[in-house]
Every structure is written in structure tokens, then in C-alpha cells.
Structure 1
Amino acid sequence: MIQSLFYILVMLFPVVGLISGFSAAVTVPLLLLTILIALRDKIFIHFKYATIKETLLSNWKLELLFCLWCLITNFYSLNYPSSLLNYLQVFLIVLMGFIVNSNIDKLSINISKIKIYFIIGIIAAIALFFIEYASHGIITRTFRTVFQPKSSNQFFLFTLDRGCSLLSVLSWVAIAIIISYHRYLLALIYYLIIFYLLYISDSLASFLAFTVAGLVFLTNRLLVTKSLQSVFLKLFTLAMISGSILMPIIAYKIQPHYASDHYAKFLLDSAKHRVFIWHFVAKQIIKKPILGHGFASSRNFKIDEKQMISYNQWTWSPLPLHPHNNIMQILLETGLIGLILFLSLIYKYIQKISNISLVQSSKSGKINRTKEDNKIDVLNYKSVAYACFINYYIIGMISFNIWQIWWVCSSFGAMILFKLLLSKSQEYNY
């Protein structure tokens, strides 16, 4: 019963997620809960006989410190009850995610079935996108007619933006499965299909992120020697950290109207709006640079009429619910202290990816694999992990509230699937 539910949830994650990205806030918690139920005895024994230092502080101390600081900032947030509720929701998902991630290797389950169900889900999600695209949203409009008769029956392609973002991230899990069988041509064909799908979609963030992720994957995959891998790791880390630090500085210095008219003519007005938002947020950051304005305070900022933005025929809010940028939001809400902790986590996870290593195991059924085979697999897994990481990060730098439950769930869903699907085909360590 539990296993059947698990398989169905794995399939539904990308399928339902394509039509409604918000559904990840349901499917992923159910997925995590299913795993926790299946592993309850083993997890209980582990926590019973291990010390607090072994179970929490040794592996999660940085995460706990960041969560603690976010909790503290709640108490001076602009809307304390609302922000605290949001925090508790996020913290619960994070806690479940890390417990599952730490114990996923103990799960006894048919991995081949999971791969099949997941790939079916991905194929169905791709098919649904093209059906919606070609039919001007027949599924969405039918759903609204039946279940939301009072809502507008119009369909806009941007309603699939969240689904496209989720699909772009999960596609790297699918690519990981394909290349685990060394089907490189099939992986390339799959990548090009998703590339085209995102190109014709309305999700510029997903298209940009998936493109950059593809370049990151290819670059790391071609650097086969240890010395070149070391150089790539340093450059990748430097780019991630320095780019994140420079983001608020550039946002503060830039002149939104001039930049939009002279350097961003090719962008849609909705994309240009981001420039105005980031500039406004940067000016608010200066007011409380160390402590920030409090967790999830972005949605409660009071905007005066004189602060509204007039651009061409549009009148925009300078801060519509959130900054549409993870770094800007972290800095605005939790200050420099929060940003330092957040970037420390980014550095930690990049190092974890670089330390992926395969462990020969008789359970894998591939005892006769050569060292060269293992080396290739390690390189493949690292390349996919880097790509998936940067894909998620870039989308967060352009779109979405970093604390939105569905977006947090998406990261844990991808992480758990990636680790589960690949660690069971041949054991591997982080």
C-alpha cells in the first residue's frame, strides 16, 4: 500500500506540477511523509541510539543556525503572526526533507519501478504542455468551467510558468536516469525537447536557467581530469558567490528607466519590471542592512502612491509581494547576517556536489565494473547535480518567493529523487 502510493506520487509530481506548480506543495509533503512512514522504525532506532550531536549538529548545524536566525527575524517582521505561520510551514518541510535525505539509503523499494513511474510522469507532463499550448489551454479552461464556474475562462500561457520551472528542474533527474545507462544521444534529444518547450513557453526564467544549466553540465562533463575538475569547482563557486554578492550592489546603482530603454529593449515589459523592483528593494535594504526587515516581510511592505512606477502605459508596484530574487529577498528580510549564512549554505552544497563518489557494492549487481566506468559515472552524476543546482538557483534569482511552500518543496522533491534514483543503482556518497 505504502509503496504503491509512493510510485503514484512520484508520477504525479511532474504531471500535476506542469498544470499547477502549486501542487508540489501537496505531492512533495505526501511523498516525504510516505517515506517517513516506511522508515519510521529505522529512523526511531537511529535517533534513539545516536546523540544529538551525531543526528543534528554534525550534519545540519549550518542549516539549523540559518533557521534559527530566520526565526529570530520573525519577531520584528512587519506582520508577525503571518510571517511566523509562513516560517513554521517552511521549517516543517525543511525538517522533513533533511530527515528523509539522511535516511533515504535505508529505504527498501523497487528502484526500477520508481524510474519507470517518474519517466512516465515526465513524458505525460511534456505531452500536457504541448496539448495546452496547441489548444489554448483546453485542460485549464475545462477545469475552470467544471470547478471554478465564476472564474475567467481565458487561458494565458504564463499560467504554466510555475509548471515549466518545475519541469526544467526535474528534467535533470530524468537526464540523470538516462545517462546512468550511458544513453547519451537519448539524453541530448530529451534536453533539446525541453529546450524547445521552454523556448516557446512564457517562462523566460526557466528557459534561461535551463540553457545555462546545459552549458554547466557540458563544461563539467568535458573536464575529465582531476586538475580541470578542481579548476571548474573553484570557478563555479566563485561565480555563484560573487554573482550573489554583486546582485544587490548592481541593483542599487542601476537606473531602471535608462537601463530598460537602452539595454533591455528586447525584454518584455514584465521582465523589465524586475529591474524596477530590484532597485526599489536595494534602497530598502540600505535602511536595515544588518538585521533586515524581518522574515517574509516583503509581502507586507506599505507602498505609497508616489512610489508607484510609471513606465510606458503601465503603472507598477515597486514591490509586488516579493522581490523576485532570492538574494535580494534574503538580504531585505534577514539582513547581512542572513545573507552570510545563506551563502555559506550555498558553498556547503557546492562542496557536497564536488565530493560525490561511487562505492562499489555487491548489491548493485555491477561488481565487474572497471575504475574507468566508475569514473565516468561519477563525472556524469556531478555534472547533472551541478546543472540541477544552477537551474534551480537561477530561476530563484529571477522569479518566485524563496519561501513559497511549493518552491521549497520542489527543491526537496528533486533532491530526494536524485539521491534515491542514483544511489540505489550503485551506492554513492555525498
Structure 2
Amino acid sequence: MGPPFTFSGSASGQPVPVSAPNSAPAPTASSRATYAWLAALITAVPIIIFAANGTIITLGLCALAAPAWPGCRDALRQVIGTPPGLALCTLAVWIALSISWSAAPADSAITALRLLLLWLVGLAALAGARAYRLPRGAAGALLIAYSAILALYALEIASGGALISLIKQIDPDRFTQFPDAAQREAYRQLLAFNAIGRGGVLLVLLFWPVAALLIDRHPARGKTGLVLALLLGATIFVLLQLPVGAAPLALLAGLAAFGLAFAAPRRLPQFIAIAAAALLLLMPLIAYKIDRPEAFGVEKRSIPPSWQHRIEIWHYTANRITEKPLTGWGFDGARHIDAKATQFVAELPDGSDIAYPNVTLLPLHPHNGALQIWLELGLPGALITAALLLALGFGIAALPLPTPQRAAATAAFTATLCLILLSFGLWQNWWQASFWLLLILFGLASQPTRSRDETDAHPGPPDR
């Protein structure tokens, strides 16, 4: 049975009635979009904390908010026709070509197909964010969700990771290699906090669209400022308890960008994009030089082994980039380059060295998005990605937004770049889904609210 009115979405997102069959009423697409976003918001709370790899589920629920095909098609054309969309399509073509010279073409093709499908889902979800206006109460719902995430994190921190230990069945009695019960419990807490640590990165990204939406919907500076200060303080507290060193740095970078953006709201995102593009192009040279940080006035033995390992990874990756600088090693080829032929050796402050068994100099990916682009996609991939960064930065500068919202978008852009340069494999599904969710949230935050009366009088196009 069809809806009482069938609508065809126009490019502007306004409904155009075309027929009125005799059938029972059904929810309009605007209601469907609201339900989809609400479902995504509800599922995001446990996913971010207990299963950060599941962000793709949240993205899929957001995609259910996409308008019917005619409206979705128009929205997709608009998105793809933008400079970032064109750069992304060009990157997809180069990725497809690079599969042919990857060390494992079949594996690379499967990963590329998953990535392409994820991008299509992200584009559909973004089309929904562009097509509809948010209902009233959206800012409050997002604030409640973010607060719930912080509250659950506080509960996990206070209980030593009790919930995640129960979910993942982390039982201290299984760690028989530790004779002492206190050691077994400490190891359990270590594993538990590692399991919930990845969500801290998502907290950093999510904070900025929450701030943008609150500032837009509740412009009273005193109350909104107090709420944001409380959220920021709670976020910092949580991040400092989690084993994710890159997250506090990214939040700090975002805060700096947010403050500076009020002085230069349009020029700052442009400057950040130019600086990021330049850093991307120069990253192999920088990584090659930092093998001995003494050249920068830092004693390598004074650096924690985890960061020594990161430096060694980057230096080793820079060496491998020089072997195929034009074409790269092929998409997703980083995991096949090292083949466990290397071993990490840390330099300790007392002058001794310690070798870490089974810890190589290129574990799956270089933990640096710029180096991964160079390593796998070569100079063309680096140039295309630099163009994408420029398009995003200049796009933020051109957005018709008030200064506070543009400052929040600039902060999110900066924090994301910081995380890309320090952590995670660039093509991981959950990480890519996180980028799309950030875009979608800002797309929604930039839309005007819709009152209940408007919703009833002007429903969006229903499913087709």
C-alpha cells in the first residue's frame, strides 16, 4: 500500500505532490528521516564506547534518511559535483588503477570494493542530511546522547572497565602467566581500557558538531557557554584516562583552531588546508629525517618506546616510499610490504637496548595517513589527496555559516587531520565511517530547524 500522497523531491528538497491514491496513511519521508537519525543516535551511544568498529552501522542507519531516488539522485549529483566530491571520485579512480600493481591484487580489490560501498553509503547519508531540515529538539537529543556517552565512560573508568570486561569476557583468572591476583586484575583493566580506548577518538570528533548545533539552536551565550565548558571538562577527563595519546592532542589542536577562527573565520580554514596539503607532500622527507630526533634537539632515549616505535615506522616507511615514489606499492599494499622481516629495538635511558619480539617496523600500516597515501598510491595519490584537503578547507571557508559554527567546523577539520597523521590505518571501515558521520552531523547542524507545524504542512518525499 502506498502513502496518501506520493512526492517527488526537488533539488531544493521541497516536496512536489504528483498523485493521491486511495490508501492508508504512512509516515512521510521527513518522519522516516527523523526516525533513522534517532535510531543512529541511540545506537551510537553503546557503539562508540563498547564497539567503535561498529560506526559503519550508525552510518548505515543515517543512510536510511536519504530521500527517494529522484531526490537522492539530485542530492548525490550536487555533492559529487563539488570540488571535494570531484577530488574523491578522482582518488577512487586512482585507487582502482593501483590495485593492478599491488602485492596482493585480490585482497586489495576486496578492500577497495568495501571502501567504495562505504563511500556510496556515506554519500547517500549526506544526501539525506542536505535534503531535510532538522526537527525541533535535535540539539537536545544530540546533547543527551553525548552526555550519555560521557556518563558511560565515567562508569567504566570508576569500575575499572567492568562492563566491557563482561561484554568481551575478559576474565582475570585466565591470565595464569601472572601468579599474583593483583597483577591479573591490573592486566584485565589494561585490556579493558584498551578495548574502550578507540571511542575516545570518536569523542573528539563528535564534540565539535555537538558544539555547533548547541550554539546555533541555543545562542544565549551564558547558558550555552556553561554547558559547553562542562562538556569539554568531562571530555578532557575521560580522554586522560584512556590509552589514546593522540586524542588529547587532537582535542587541543581543535580548541586552538576554534579560538583562532573567531579572529580569522574564513582565512584560518584556508591556511590549515594549505598547511596540511604542504605537510602531506613533504611528509616522506620529514619522516626520513626524524629517525634521529637528536637533530631536533631531542634525545631519542628519553622518548617512550611507543613513540620510538612510531618514529621507526615512519622512517622505515619513508625508505620504502623512495623505492616506488611515482606509483606507490598499490592500494592497501602496506600490510604486504614488511612480511615480518624487521624488528623494533627500543633505546632505553640507561643506555641499553631492548628488542621487542614480533613487533615489526611496518605493522599493517604506517600509523600516518600522509605516509600511507605516499606508500600505497605514490605521487599521484598524494597530489589528489592534497587537492581534496584544499577543497575541504576552502569549502569550510565558503560555507554560509555564522562565525561560531564555522569555527566549530574548522576545529573538527583540524582535529581530524591531527588524528589522521598520528593513528589508525586510513582505509579501516570504522575510521572512514567516522569521517562520513562527522560530515553528516555538520550537514545537519547547518540546516535550519523545522517546527512540528512545518513538518505536517510540508512533509518530505516518502520512500519509493
Deviation, structure 1 residue 239: 2.3
2:241 to 200, 221, 224: 200
Counterpart for residue 344 of structure 2: 309
Distance 2:303 2:215 in 1: 35
Gaps of 5+ in 2: 1-26, 176-183, 347-352, 451-464
Taking only the aligned residue pairs, the percentage that are identical comes to: 22
Deviation, structure 1 residue 214: 0.3
Aligned ranges for residues 124-203 of structure 1 at < 5 Å?
Answer: 124-145=148-169, 154-156=188-190, 157-180=193-216, 181-182=218-219, 183-203=224-244
Cα distance per residue 1:82-124 (max 9 Å; x no partner)? 1111111111111222243245332365242x43332222111
SS in 1 for 2:188: coil
- For the Cα contact (< 8 Å) 1:12–1:121, is it kept in 2? no
2:68 to 13, 18, 40: 40
- For the Cα contact (< 8 Å) 1:105–1:420, is it kept in 2? yes
Cα distance per residue 1:307-334 (max 9 Å; x no partner)? 3222143423000011100000000000
Find out whether 1:67 has 2:92 as its counterpart. yes
Deviation, structure 1 residue 246: 2.9
Cα distance per residue 1:205-228 (max 9 Å; x no partner)? 01100001001001112x1xxxx4
SS in 1 for 2:58: helix
Deviation, structure 1 residue 249: 0.9
Deviation, structure 1 residue 177: 2.1
Matching residue's letter, 1:288? K
Cα distance per residue 1:201-255 (max 9 Å; x no partner)? 221101100001001001112x1xxxx4454345323322222233221111222
2:324 to 281, 288, 308: 288
Cα distance per residue 1:158-211 (max 9 Å; x no partner)? 322210001110011111122221312322232222122212322110110000
Deviation, structure 1 residue 70: 0.7
Cα distance per residue 1:371-403 (max 9 Å; x no partner)? xxxxxxx10111000101111111111000010
Distance 1:55 1:173 in 2: 20
Distance 1:101 1:66 in 2: 19
1:273 to 309, 312, 332: 309
- For the Cα contact (< 8 Å) 2:36–2:65, is it kept in 1? no
- For the Cα contact (< 8 Å) 2:133–2:449, is it kept in 1? no
Aligned ranges for residues 18-57 of structure 1 at < 5 Å?
Answer: 18-32=49-63, 34-36=64-66, 39-43=67-71, 46=74, 56-57=80-81
- For the Cα contact (< 8 Å) 2:274–2:390, is it kept in 1? no
SS in 1 for 2:446: helix
Counterpart for residue 235 of structure 1: 271
Find out whether 1:212 has 2:253 as its counterpart. yes
- For the Cα contact (< 8 Å) 2:329–2:375, is it kept in 1? yes
Deviation, structure 1 residue 11: 2.7
1:380 to 384, 400, 404: 404
Counterpart for residue 361 of structure 1: none
Distance 2:73 2:277 in 1: 39
- For the Cα contact (< 8 Å) 1:11–1:117, is it kept in 2? no
1:391 to 415, 421, 441: 415
**Residues 389 and 265 of structure 1, relative CA distance in 2, 3 Å threshold:** farther
Moved more, 281-290 or 178-187: 178-187
Find out whether 1:334 has 2:377 as its counterpart. yes
Distance 1:321 1:379 in 2: 41
- For the Cα contact (< 8 Å) 1:256–1:276, is it kept in 2? no
Aligned ranges for residues 339-354 of structure 1 at < 5 Å?
Answer: 339-354=382-397
Find out whether 1:413 has 2:437 as its counterpart. yes
Matching residue's letter, 1:70? I
Cα distance per residue 1:259-305 (max 9 Å; x no partner)? 79944666532222110100000000000001000000111223354
Matching residue's letter, 2:230? I
**Residues 265 and 194 of structure 1, relative CA distance in 2, 3 Å threshold:** farther
- For the Cα contact (< 8 Å) 1:175–1:190, is it kept in 2? no
**Residues 261 and 200 of structure 1, relative CA distance in 2, 3 Å threshold:** farther
Moved more, 232-241 or 92-101: 232-241
**Residues 173 and 45 of structure 1, relative CA distance in 2, 3 Å threshold:** closer
Q: Which has the larger radius of gyration?
A: 2
**Residues 146 and 194 of structure 1, relative CA distance in 2, 3 Å threshold:** closer
- For the Cα contact (< 8 Å) 2:59–2:122, is it kept in 1? no
Matching residue's letter, 1:16? I
Matching residue's letter, 1:235? F
Matching residue's letter, 1:6? W
SS in 1 for 2:345: strand
TM-score where L is the length of structure 1: 0.83
2:139 to 115, 118, 123: 115
SS in 2 for 1:197: helix
SS in 2 for 1:75: helix
**Residues 287 and 110 of structure 1, relative CA distance in 2, 3 Å threshold:** same
Distance 2:296 2:197 in 1: 23
Distance 2:71 2:394 in 1: 26
Gaps of 5+ in 1: 359-377
- For the Cα contact (< 8 Å) 1:158–1:202, is it kept in 2? yes
Aligned residue pairs: how many?
Answer: 392
Distance 1:268 1:86 in 2: 33
Matching residue's letter, 2:142? F
- For the Cα contact (< 8 Å) 2:99–2:105, is it kept in 1? yes
Larger helix percent: 1
